[in-house]
């Protein structure tokens, strides 16, 4: 377990795979009638609530300061509440696999923001890995969703906002990481803040009846909460070990998981070009990982 906790590559695979499971879970939940905002609430409540219970059971607590509260609120909005709402709203229209492809655009946008904001960026090998992954993502995007079912351009544009919001969150969480804060504590605070934001928005715009469809898929709700809490424990550790650009590579892993799970379990069908692009995406991950091992990708580690 200690080696996993300190290995950027192992953390990347585990976090990306768990993120990928969110896509089919989200499709099953929204297919049952749960609005996208409600399923985003399920993710954040599950992640924050279960991790908080585990923290308290271990005899530890959380220290709240003005800086940490600001961090929780900003991270909640740009990293979880907004992109998850977009993702779960788009999945019914685009499919779990295709929506997952949008995560693969996050590394490129994160890299651009890293350059603009002065965060250390990858050199030649690291940039090559990211660009290879982007080529694969572009190939997949050209297919516009499931075979024989071209995606509506409106929902494609909505989905494109997902990686932009994630990239902003990737950078912010590194530059604003509170001194002395651990990954579990930050995951708890950020997700409980996101859950609170989403709860207010749901009650104001849709009413308490929006939660009723969750009763139709209780096991999916439970699985989503468990996977989300596990994922974000590793997510914040990967942030500390790998930095924002390397962290953004989880989108490649998540997209691949989304494609396979959508095909095997949800009856989605994708063209050969889609699968070829997914393979190229995987190659991009390995190139970037090699750059990380050689010390050719590095961002300022959080204090």
Contacts of 295 (CB under 8 A, 6+ apart): none
Q: Which two tokens stand for residue 212?
A: 């009723």
Q: Give the start-to-end residue ranges of the domains of the chain.
A: 2-293
**For 64-120, what is each residue's pLDDT tens digit?**
888 899 999 999 999 999 999 999 998 888 888 778 877 777 777 777 777 677 665
Other CB atoms within 10 A of residue 281 CB:
26
Other CB atoms within 10 A of residue 12 CB:
24
**For 229-252, what is each residue's pLDDT tens digit?**
888 778 878 877 877 767 777 877
Q: With a threshold of 0.85, does the pTM exceed it?
A: no
**For 149-193, what is each residue's pLDDT tens digit?**
666 778 878 888 998 898 888 888 878 888 887 778 888 999 999
> Rounded mean pLDDT of 142-151?
65
Q: Which two tokens stand for residue 153?
A: 């351009």
23 contacts 17 by C-beta, under 8 angstroms: no
**For 194-207, what is each residue's pLDDT tens digit?**
999 999 999 999 99
Average pLDDT of the chain is 82
What share of the chain has pLDDT > 90, as a percent? 28
Looking at residue 150, its pLDDT comes to: 64
Looking at residue 145, its pLDDT comes to: 61
Distance between CA atoms of residues 133 and 99, nearest Å: 16
Res. 147 pLDDT band, cuts 50 70 90: low
Distance between CA atoms of residues 203 and 211, nearest Å: 10
């Amino acid at each position: 377990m200690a080696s996993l906790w300190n290995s950027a590559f192992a953390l990347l695979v585990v976090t990306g795979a768990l993120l990928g499971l969110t896509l089919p879970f989200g499709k099953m939940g929204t297919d049952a009638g749960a609005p996208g905002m409600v399923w985003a609430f399920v993710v954040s409540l599950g992640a924050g609530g279960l991790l908080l219970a585990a923290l308290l059971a271990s005899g530890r607590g959380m220290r709240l300061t003005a800086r940490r509260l600001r961090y929780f609120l900003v991270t909640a909005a740009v990293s979880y509440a907004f992109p998850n709402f977009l993702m779960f709203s788009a999945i019914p229209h685009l499919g779990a696999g295709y929506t997952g492809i949008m995560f693969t655009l996050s590394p490129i946008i994160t890299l651009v923001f890293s350059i603009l904001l002065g965060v250390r960026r990858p050199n030649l090998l690291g940039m090559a890995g990211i660009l290879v992954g982007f080529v694969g993502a572009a190939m997949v995007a050209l297919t516009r969703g499931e075979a024989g079912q071209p995606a509506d351009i409106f929902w494609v544009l909505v989905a494109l906002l997902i990686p932009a919001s994630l990239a902003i969150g990737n950078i912010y969480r590194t530059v604003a990481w509170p001194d002395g804060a651990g990954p579990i504590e930050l995951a708890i605070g950020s997700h409980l803040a996101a859950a609170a934001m989403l709860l207010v928005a749901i009650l104001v715009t849709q009413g308490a009846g929006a939660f009723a469809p969750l009763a139709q898929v209780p096991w999916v709700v439970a699985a989503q909460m468990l996977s989300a809490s596990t994922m974000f424990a590793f997510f914040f550790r990967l942030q500390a070990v790998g930095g924002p650009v390397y962290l953004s590579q989880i989108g490649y892993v998540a997209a691949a998981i989304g494609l396979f799970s959508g095909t095997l379990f949800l009856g989605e069908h994708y063209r050969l070009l889609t699968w070829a692009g997914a393979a190229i995406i995987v190659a991009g991950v390995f190139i970037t990982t090699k750059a990380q091992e050689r010390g050719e990708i590095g961002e300022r580690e959080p204090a």
